[in-house]
Each structure stands twice: as C-alpha cells, then as structure tokens.
Amino acid sequence: MSALPMSPLASIGFRWLMLYRICTLFSYQIVAVTVGWHVYELTRDPWSLGLIGLAEVIPFFCVAPFSGYLVDHLRRRRLGAIACTVLAFNAIVLALLTIGALPLQGLWPIYLAIAIGGVGRSFLGPVHNALFARVLRRDQFARGASIGSVVFQTGLVLGPAIGGLLVGAAGKWVAYALAAVFALAAAGALLCMPVSEPPQQQQRGPVFASIGDGLRFVFGHQILLAALALDMFAVLFGGAISLAPAFIKDVLHAGPEALGILRGAPALGSVAAALWLARHPLQANAGRIMLAAVACFGACMIGFGLSTAFWLSVFFLLLSGVFDGVSVVLRSTVLQLSTPDGMRGRVSSVNSIFISSSNELGAFYAGSMARLLGLVPAVVVGGFVTIGVVGITAWKAPRLRKLDLRELQ
C-alpha cells in the first residue's frame, strides 16, 4: 500500500487559502441567517424568504460566466480581494438599513443589497478553485478537497450559529457589522497569500468565445457534467434550509438562537464526513457512493419535513449534512482532477452556476412551493424529487455510476 502524500496543510499558500475561505463563509452565512430572520420578521411570509434567493441568483447568473473569464485572465488574488470588499459593502449597507441610518423604506433596499452580494459571490468560487490548484500538487488534491470541505462546512456550522446568537443577544446590525469584518479579513488573507500566477493568465482571447470553451468542456465531460447536475438538482429540490425561519416560528416555535442551530446542523454533519474522508479518501466505487449519498440526503429531507420536535429536526439535518458532505468532497475532487489549469476559472464559474446558484434558486423554489402547498408538504415533496433525480442520473450517466477516481489521476 502506497503512503499518503504530504499533508496539504504543509503548504503555506494552502493555509492562507483556507483562511480566506472560512472568512468568506463566516461573512456570507452570518448575513444569510440574519437577513432571513430580518425579512421574515417584517413579513411573516415564506415566499419572502424565497425572494431572498431570487434577488441573489439573478445577478449571480449574469456575472458568473464573466467572473470565470476574468479569473483565467487577470490576477486571481486581486479579483478575490475586490469581491470580498463587495461582500463587506453589502453587509455594511444592511447594517445601516437596520438602524435606520439610510432614508429608505420597505423590503426593496434589502433585496438590492442582497443582489450586490450576489455579484461579489460570483467570484469567490472561481478564485478559490483556481488558487487551490496553484498551492497543491495533483497527488494532494483528494486530501486537499477533504480538508477544504472541513473548512467549508465548519464555516457553515459556526457562521449561522454566530449570526443567530448575535441577532438574539445584540441585534441584527451587530451581526451585519461582524460579517463586514470577516469579509475584509478574507480580502487580507488573499493579498498575503504566497502563490505564483500562471503565465497564460495574460493571454486574452475573445470574451464570449473563451466562455464558450469552458461551457463546451463541462458539457463534453460526462462524469463532471453528471456530478454537477446531480448536486445542483439535489440542492434545488431538496434544500429546505432556506425555510428554516418559517419552521422555527410556525412549526418548532423557537427563537433566533435555535435558528442558528438549525442552519448549522447540516454543516456539522458535513464536517464529520469530511474529517473522515480526509483520513480515508475514497477512490473505488466513488460514483456509486456519491449517488447513494444524494439519495440518503433526500430521505433526510423527508424526515425533517415531517418532524415537529426541534431536536429531531436537528438530527435529520445533521444526518443530511453527513451525506451531503460525502457528495461535496467527491464532486470537488472530480472538478479539480478533470480541469486543465488554464480553464479553472471558467470551469469553476460553470460549477458555481450549477451549485452555488442552485442554493438561491432552491430557496425561491422552496418558498414558492411552501406558498402553494404549505411548509411541510413542500419539503417532503422536494425530498422525494431528489431521490428521483438520483435514479435518473444513475440511468443517464453510466460513467459516473462506474466512476473510480484513480481513472482521473
């Protein structure tokens, strides 16, 4: 049996990259949990929570293809720092709206601030994925993806918990202000990162032709396309966490502190899965394991939707995070191993459109279904649809079903 490659944490650049990632996650998640509570407190309408996702995903969709192009052709650290500054600006605006320091009324200023954040977020994934491949060797990618998932999910655990506690103890404006501090810290981490920039970044071709190259690469790669599509539709139909404020108030009858726990539970499960995978990276039967994990995620969503007890709901979300963590690590590894370095920005932007935007579209879908069917039926139906998506993917993408990660190395 061959020895494991040197730990990715031995790389100084990788450590700075992980600091950047967790700070951006803290910033975004604190804003997400605070703005969800803020909007639902004003409206008591689940559909208004769905509109939060729509407000973010529209600018995200419009900017993401160009962000990937820019990441492939400009200095990646500088672009990432600018994107983090946009997140900080977004959080500051929300804080000022909360204390009435801006002469604006109604929900539209909140949704506009969220839209500005969506523009900044469109750069975060491509910057991270492009720099990931510059600070690690290929034989470190699998373990690096697992460690990255631990960091990612830790941010998803602690960010909502911090946001919920601050909203309950100090007020919404304090939570927004801390989110701005984390965003600026992420910008600083990128600027301090020692990493070489690839020479091909300076070779610029026609913008739309270059973006098209990235799209053709993804849609011509069955394994990568199937992995992205599987994750996208699972999050789109099975992601019930956007309705957490409504569940807390109307089903579980708890406060903002409980909302932070509920939003952080899936990420805590994902941390546990990623920690295990960092020590035991998957290779053989990776495709079957990924499909099974997403199906189990859908089943957990059904359980969450039917639960009326707070800690049982936390348990189902925790378990869903374990299965989602397995899927995330495998998808991240496939993405890194399959993508040529000169196309990482563009391919990562496609990945962002598939995955990151599906969270916001999923929030809009969940809010719309909750208005049509009610909270509980919307979540239960979404869980069953997720399981159906797994079956279709296994049928239509046999190469993913038979995937062994050693074939990509």
Q: What is the pLDDT along the chain (409 residues), one digit of tens a residue?
A: 444 557 788 888 899 999 999 999 999 889 988 888 888 888 877 777 767 777 877 887 788 778 777 877 778 889 899 999 999 998 999 999 888 888 777 788 888 888 888 888 888 888 888 888 788 877 777 788 778 877 877 787 788 778 888 888 888 899 999 999 999 999 999 999 887 766 544 445 566 666 677 778 877 777 888 888 887 777 777 667 777 778 887 888 887 778 778 877 887 888 888 788 877 777 778 888 889 999 999 999 999 989 888 889 899 999 998 998 888 888 878 777 777 766 777 777 777 776 665 666 677 777 778 878 888 888 888 889 889 989 988 888 888 888 777 666 5
Same fold, 1-204 and 207-408: yes
Residue 314 near residue 261 (C-beta atoms within 8 A): yes
Per residue in 244-303, pLDDT tens? 778 887 888 887 778 778 877 887 888 888 788 877 777 778 888 889 999 999 999 999
Assign domain 1-204 to a CATH class.
mainly alpha
Residue ranges of the domains in the chain? Answer: 1-204, 207-408
For residues 80 and 129, give the distance between their C-alpha atoms in angstroms, rounded to a whole number.
Answer: 11
pTM recorded for the entire structure: 0.67
- CA quadruple 317, 261, 49, 113: dihedral sign: negative
Residue 286 near residue 406 (C-beta atoms within 8 A): no
CATH classification code of 207-408: 1.20.1250.20
For residues 125 and 154, give the distance between their C-alpha atoms in angstroms, rounded to a whole number.
Answer: 17
Per residue in 100-111, pLDDT tens? 888 777 788 888
pLDDT at 409: 56
Residue 116 near residue 80 (C-beta atoms within 8 A): no
